[in-house]
Amino acid sequence: MRMWEMNVKDIRKKLEESFEALTFEELNEKPAPGEWSIAQIVLHLAGAETRFMKLALEAAESQQVMEGEEVDLSVFEDKNKKLKAPIDPPEDPQTREQLLTALHTSRRLTDQFLEGHTEDSLSGKTMDHHQFGIMPVWQVLELLGRHEERHIHQIQETKNKISMK
């Protein structure tokens, strides 16, 4: 098992722990106009995982073999640099249970990917990501992990902002 296979599981556990003690109000409070609530951040992550993994599964099943270089995912490391999401998450208030259901549903695709494919079986398989372009399918796990880590940091910042109000 490669590092990112284990990391996505550990990171998801940290994500779920990051909002487990919050009230309904805290989950849904926006720290400022134009900023996302913690519920929106979590829904964004579930939606992104679904999109990433559908792309990866489609590419993995494709007969087309095309080499692709690993892409630079360091953009996720600078937590102060604001990135624009291609899709804004819904604003409807969410319970913790609804958020966990969304995360567990999106994770089924990741589990399907991990159960059905190995790095060796995906050799030469690439996917086209909207921001990073052509990338090796297997690198989707690193993308997923780094994306969630970035937003765990955002959840912590949001918690700090709403507690200071």
pTM: 0.93
In contact, 14 and 70? CB cutoff 8 Å: no
Alpha-carbon distance of 104 to 117, in angstroms, equals 20
User: What does the pLDDT look like over 119-147, one tens digit per residue?
Assistant: 888 888 999 998 999 999 999 999 999 99
pLDDT at 118: 86
Q: Which segments within the chain are labelled E, that is strand?
A: 126-129, 133-136
pLDDT at 63: 80
pLDDT at residue 1 is higher than 60: no
Alpha-carbon distance of 162 to 25, in angstroms, equals 10
In contact, 48 and 41? CB cutoff 8 Å: no
